Structure 1
């Protein structure tokens, strides 16, 4: 039997906690990759995994990504993540959230949680009844905190603009065709901001009605999920689930740029080389999508106001430029360059 330490996605994680609560039916995994820069911070994902091994792989990869994301964003936080294993019915109960909150609390602040896929602001409020080690809570107008989605969207939008300038020599998104995968909070925000600049939007989501709604709002078109990755466009922006860039999908891409907010877009590290070999400019996901955690961190650490959150998010294009410049100078793909930078920051070079 393969041990946790031998799994391909295990990266010397400091701790991995498997949580079971029989009364509520909770099954969850909390992974803490690194606390070198501060408490391990990262959201909780509520998702149905047909195979529990997929949940283990997901939480290991996501927590490592949070270490890198928080380090590259200059935050005093380490990297962690949690997944709650939903049943096929995807029923989420107050008892389940309470049990999860108690599990977070038992870690004594070594892990700080927030929203992620399948977890709403209301869920975070419920979890906060059991623990203070939580962020992303509702706030009064003008205060730091709340739903991290709009902040993620803003950072991704800025990164898309930076990629367009780097790869296409364009100072604006006006007239560019952007193919957006996903139509949720982050994807919808990116679509609205890009369309406001004059971009032409094609969008796809497994919920086709949701994709159509965003398309109608921004004057774009909704396409099928199977079509979005093979559209001829200026920019492909993945903003749904990860591992979509792989040995099969990369040769079919018809874009010069990939820049989006989905976590863990590369199925394997070597897929960064595949993109690079094709001359496709890649914006490393945990750098471009850091806006949400910047907002969450500022709320939790109480080290800035709303204007400071915006200033920190607006540094994302500068970090991307540093990565792309080093990539051009060394020939290494941008994902590998970003990983090396992050590893140095957390003392794992």
Structure 2
């Protein structure tokens, strides 16, 4: 692997390869940009097929964190880490502790948190030997977690998109009655998003590879279930990808009938060209790195301030304004929304230098 020639290398400040012989830990930390503050982003544990695949993921995700934090108005830079391992392994806690010592060695240049395969309880394990961990289970009262606010941010972002595309609702009140929304992925965030949408009067179409998750949402929220590989083509107003990335690709994009794509999955566009194709099709895309910023906005505040549930909720609701700014500017310039959002992020990072 040649890091500096890697297609996802974007002038990253630091890329650290981590190993621990006792646990067999293999991990990568990518610090993309610290212009606005310490780099912050989650810890992903996944059994990547190759180290090249892991490096590609961490470089792309860390870059997205820089833009996410900048567009959301947070005094934080962007970083990410990946642990190459099955999160179901029996010695997971030992692996996390070994990894946390590598994060500690960076002295606060990078703060880590939850992500795929690493939950709030795992974050508390990381914090046993590391001072630079947020979104821990102990950070929130029972029944509340960073994913609660990620779902609220997704709902707020979708409301902003709906207000922009259809003129329905505003910052203070939603108007989703009768709108059809397809939610792909029913994990903790996807399910909570379904609850918020159902309570707002939306009609749900859902899919997940876990049948139990589908059955539960169908029973509780009256959702319509479709096959996971066909959810993108559902006859809906809004498509909300909340599973893995790359869902907007050559195979799916021509079958998307929704007029708005707004969800929390990372890297929903397989390539930037797919963002331009959505624009050509008249489909509005809420950039994923802004739509999924709610958890970061709520939990990341502990890095630089004293958090509270009330202030966290108010901060997340401000995403309505951030999304509206991106969509309005993109319409004015006739550019893909992701390009506009990235430019806003770059401008804010440059202004901080």
Query: Which of 265, 271, 276 is the equivalent residue of 1:268?
Result: 271
Contact in 2 for aligned 1:14/1:34 (Cα 8 Å): yes
Q: Deviations over 1:46-98 (max 9, x none)?
A: 11112221111110011001000111111111000011111497555222111
Secondary structure of 1:179's counterpart equals: strand
Which residue is 1:237 aligned to?
240
Structure 1 portions without partners, runs of 5+: none
Once residues 313 and 94 of structure 1 are traced to their aligned partners in structure 2, the CA distance between those partners, rounded to angstroms, is: 31
Once residues 122 and 317 of structure 2 are traced to their aligned partners in structure 1, the CA distance between those partners, rounded to angstroms, is: 29
Equivalent positions of 1:111-130 (< 5 A) are: 111-130=110-129
Contact in 2 for aligned 1:43/1:114 (Cα 8 Å): yes
Secondary structure of 2:204's counterpart equals: strand
Once residues 93 and 31 of structure 2 are traced to their aligned partners in structure 1, the CA distance between those partners, rounded to angstroms, is: 25
Which residue is 1:339 aligned to?
342
Once residues 141 and 240 of structure 1 are traced to their aligned partners in structure 2, the CA distance between those partners, rounded to angstroms, is: 24
Bigger mean CA offset, 299-308 vs 181-190: 299-308
Contact in 2 for aligned 1:47/1:90 (Cα 8 Å): no
Which residue is 2:163 aligned to?
165
Secondary structure of 1:346's counterpart equals: helix
- What RMSD in Å do the two structures reach over aligned CA positions? 1.9
Once residues 34 and 127 of structure 1 are traced to their aligned partners in structure 2, the CA distance between those partners, rounded to angstroms, is: 23
The Cα shift of 1:45 comes to 0.5
Q: Deviations over 1:175-199 (max 9, x none)?
A: 0110001000111111000000111
* Residues 1:210 and 2:213 aligned together: yes
Which residue is 2:76 aligned to?
77
Which residue is 1:150 aligned to?
148
Contact in 1 for aligned 2:87/2:117 (Cα 8 Å): no
**Normalising to structure 1: TM-score of the pair?**
0.95
Which residue is 1:219 aligned to?
222
Equivalent positions of 1:227-306 (< 5 A) are: 227-306=230-309
The Cα shift of 1:142 comes to 6.1
Query: Are the structure 2 counterparts of residues 91 and 275 from structure 1 closer, same or farther at C-alpha, using a change threshold of 3 Å?
Result: farther
Which residue is 2:44 aligned to?
45
Which residue is 1:189 aligned to?
192
Secondary structure of 1:84's counterpart equals: strand
Once residues 94 and 310 of structure 1 are traced to their aligned partners in structure 2, the CA distance between those partners, rounded to angstroms, is: 31
The Cα shift of 1:256 comes to 0.5
Which residue is 1:329 aligned to?
332
Query: Are the structure 2 counterparts of residues 140 and 18 from structure 1 closer, same or farther at C-alpha, using a change threshold of 3 Å?
Result: closer
The Cα shift of 1:37 comes to 0.8
Query: Which of 316, 320, 323 is the equivalent residue of 1:320?
Result: 323
Once residues 286 and 66 of structure 2 are traced to their aligned partners in structure 1, the CA distance between those partners, rounded to angstroms, is: 17
Once residues 53 and 146 of structure 1 are traced to their aligned partners in structure 2, the CA distance between those partners, rounded to angstroms, is: 36
Once residues 265 and 139 of structure 1 are traced to their aligned partners in structure 2, the CA distance between those partners, rounded to angstroms, is: 31
Work out the number of aligned pairs and report it.
347
**Normalising to structure 2: TM-score of the pair?**
0.94
Query: Are the structure 2 counterparts of residues 148 and 212 from structure 1 closer, same or farther at C-alpha, using a change threshold of 3 Å?
Result: same
The Cα shift of 1:233 comes to 0.4
Once residues 327 and 100 of structure 2 are traced to their aligned partners in structure 1, the CA distance between those partners, rounded to angstroms, is: 40
Contact in 2 for aligned 1:276/1:333 (Cα 8 Å): yes
The Cα shift of 1:122 comes to 1.5
Once residues 125 and 311 of structure 1 are traced to their aligned partners in structure 2, the CA distance between those partners, rounded to angstroms, is: 25
Once residues 7 and 47 of structure 2 are traced to their aligned partners in structure 1, the CA distance between those partners, rounded to angstroms, is: 22
Contact in 2 for aligned 1:136/1:146 (Cα 8 Å): no
